[in-house]
Structure 1
Amino acid sequence: MKWNWGTGIVIGIAAFMSFILFLVIKMTTNEKFSFDLVTEEYYAKEMLYQTEIDAETNTYNLKEKIISKKTNDGWLLIFPKELEPSKIIGKVFLYRPSNEKLDFNLELKLTSSHLLIPDNKMLDGRWNIIIDWVYQDKHYLYKKEITY
């Protein structure tokens, strides 16, 4: 058989495709790599997405925005002064993308416009904060990615 540049290209493409196929099989069958879903009920949550959009729009339309910052004692959330803290009912969900075992919920019961998430509940790294609350029968949703 005579080797020319066409034969070399075909062999090169076949070798490359074999290598990629090997990597795909290796990565999907190896137990060392975990593939956690972002949420278990993905499709059910997708159906409720429009209500989340409306709630985020309500939060965006507030005159003052929620202030979120790191302090020495933990992570501080300051709600707008236009909202009466005792009438805010909801939950704060802290989601750790790298480890779902660190995720936790806090009940939202405010006596002032400040909510402090204690330092001992959060490890250094990336977190997603989701605040879901109702104020005077209006649904609000606040989402923010933070680095603690």
Structure 2
Amino acid sequence: MKINWGTGIVIAFALFMTFILYFVFEVQSNSKYDNDLVVEEYYKHDTHFQEEMARIQNAHDLQHKPVIKYNDQGVTVTFPATFESDKIKGNVLLYRPSNKKFDFDTQLALNNSSLLIPQKKLIKGRWDVNMEWQYEGKKYLTKEVIYVN
């Protein structure tokens, strides 16, 4: 039996579509592939966007900003000496984009104007650090991306 080129193209498209659909169903049905939303209540989170932008701008306008960096001991959050440690309140959310099971939240409890999040709590890879804090009644939001080795 001889197949002309038009029939060959139709067969090739049908095989390609079958191949793609197989992978779509495999990813949707297999629990190994986690396809959760980034934020649980997306629309509720989106309504506070303008307030979040104002807090980011407040942090950006500071002359001396807190520093978030990774070192051998873990993640260190250091506030400038111009801030009084006992007046700073807030929390630090370490968000793992690849798997929400590793996300955790830590209260800001400063020791000598700094906070150390130990290495043992972190796994290798990318972490998004969102620090929401308040100083003398003004709210701030600092966002950083760090990579743990």
TM-score by length of 1: 0.84
Return the letter of the residue paired with 1:33: Y
Q: Which residue of 1 aligns with 2:72?
A: 72
**Match of 1:80, SS?**
coil
Is structure 2 residue 101 aligned with structure 1 residue 81? no
Return the letter of the residue paired with 1:45: H
Offset at residue 2 of structure 1 (A): 6.7
Measured in 2, the distance between the counterparts of 1:12 and 1:46 equals 44
Measured in 2, the distance between the counterparts of 1:73 and 1:43 equals 37
Is structure 2 residue 102 aligned with structure 1 residue 102? yes
Matched-pair contact (CA < 8 Å) for 1:78–1:113: yes
State the Cα RMSD in Å.
Answer: 2.2
Matched-pair contact (CA < 8 Å) for 2:70–2:147: no
Q: How does 1:21-36 map to 2 (within 5 A)?
A: 21-36=21-36
Q: Which residue of 1 aligns with 2:8?
A: 8
Offset at residue 146 of structure 1 (A): 0.9
Offset at residue 51 of structure 1 (A): 1.1
Measured in 2, the distance between the counterparts of 1:119 and 1:22 equals 41
Return the letter of the residue paired with 1:3: I
Offset at residue 31 of structure 1 (A): 2.8
Offset at residue 36 of structure 1 (A): 2.5
TM-score by length of 2: 0.84
Return the letter of the residue paired with 1:6: G
Matched-pair contact (CA < 8 Å) for 1:86–1:111: no
Offset at residue 111 of structure 1 (A): 5.0
Q: Which residue of 2 aligns with 1:19?
A: 19
Is structure 2 residue 135 aligned with structure 1 residue 135? yes
Residues 1:119 and 1:31: Cα distance change in structure 2 (over 3 Å): closer
Matched-pair contact (CA < 8 Å) for 2:65–2:80: yes
Measured in 1, the distance between the counterparts of 2:57 and 2:80 equals 15
Offset at residue 90 of structure 1 (A): 0.6
**Match of 1:13, SS?**
helix
| Unpaired stretches in structure 1, ≥5 consecutive residues | none
Offset at residue 126 of structure 1 (A): 2.2
Offset at residue 21 of structure 1 (A): 1.8
